[in-house]
């Protein structure tokens, strides 16, 4: 993953150089547009590298959990690389599961566990939501509250997780859309 970020940064830099060469040889409007495009490309590349550094710091601070989630008749225990302790959610606090895609590969898909509205650390039966690291999952800047997992990293795969989910919740919760 790190190598791909650096390769992407190198391509961004080469493209920016090509845009700078165009800017030097063209008239002002074309040159200004080329420079603006180059700045956007470099800014986005810098943002991605900064995000990678932040993720590395989080991984160094907390060990990667051996088990991402455990299901039981009483609820769901979630472990993430962002929180030092596990989070327990009774089934009535889980609104649903879904798979989101960022491309056509298994690597770009994520499994999202959505929480019911109003679930927080004071909700009866929950445990671990009082951790400061869990706050971004309870109040995201964009979208609904929930926990995300890379679908390609999960063992067993998503269809097996869906079957277990249907078993433990008597069919109330399923993963939508199923991959």
Question: For the chain, what is the mean pLDDT?
Answer: 80
pLDDT at 72: 93
pLDDT at 167: 93
In this predicted structure, the answer to whether residue 63 has a pLDDT above a threshold of 50 is yes
Q: Tell me what the mean pLDDT of segment 40-45 comes to.
A: 79
Question: In this prediction, what percent of the chain has a pLDDT beyond 90?
Answer: 18
Do residues 110 and 100 touch, judged by C-beta distance below 8 A?
yes
Measure CA of the first residue to CA of the last residue in the chain; give whole Å: 23
pLDDT at 105: 57
CA-only gyration radius of the chain, Å: 21
CA pair distance 4, 11, nearest whole angstrom: 10
pLDDT at 126: 93
CA nearest neighbour of 147 among 92, 106, 88: 88
Q: Tell me what the mean pLDDT of segment 52-72 comes to.
A: 78
Question: In this prediction, what percent of the chain has a pLDDT beyond 70?
Answer: 88
Q: How confident is the model at residue 139 (pLDDT cuts 50, 70, 90)?
A: confident
Question: Any residues with CB less than 8 A from the CB of 47 and at least 6 apart, and which?
Answer: none
Q: Domain extents for the chain?
A: 2-61, 69-176
CA nearest neighbour of 87 among 65, 103, 57: 65
For residue range 107-125, what is the model confidence (pLDDT) as tens digits? 668 888 899 888 888 999 9
CA pair distance 151, 178, nearest whole angstrom: 11
Residue 159 has phi, psi (to 5 degrees) of -60, -35
pLDDT at 103: 59
Under DSSP, the state recorded for 127 is B
pLDDT at 110: 82
């Amino acid at each position: 993953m790190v190598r791909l970020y650096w390769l992407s940064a190198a391509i961004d830099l080469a493209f920016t150089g090509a845009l700078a060469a165009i800017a030097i040889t063209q008239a002002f409007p074309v040159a200004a547009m080329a420079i603006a495009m180059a700045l956007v490309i470099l800014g986005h590349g810098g943002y991605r590298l900064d995000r990678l550094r932040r993720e590395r710091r989080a991984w160094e601070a907390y060990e990667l959990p051996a088990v991402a989630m455990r299901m039981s008749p009483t609820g769901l225990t979630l472990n993430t690389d962002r929180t030092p302790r596990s989070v327990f959610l009774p089934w009535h606090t889980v609104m649903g599961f879904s798979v989101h895609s960022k491309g056509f590969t298994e690597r770009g898909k994520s499994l999202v566990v959505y929480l019911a509205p109003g679930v927080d650390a004071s909700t009866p039966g929950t445990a671990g939501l009082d951790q400061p690291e869990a706050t971004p999952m309870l109040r995201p800047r964009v979208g609904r509250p929930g926990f995300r997992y890379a679908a390609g990293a999960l063992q067993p795969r998503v269809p097996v997780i869906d079957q277990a989910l249907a078993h433990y919740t008597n069919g109330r919760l399923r993963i939508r859309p199923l991959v």
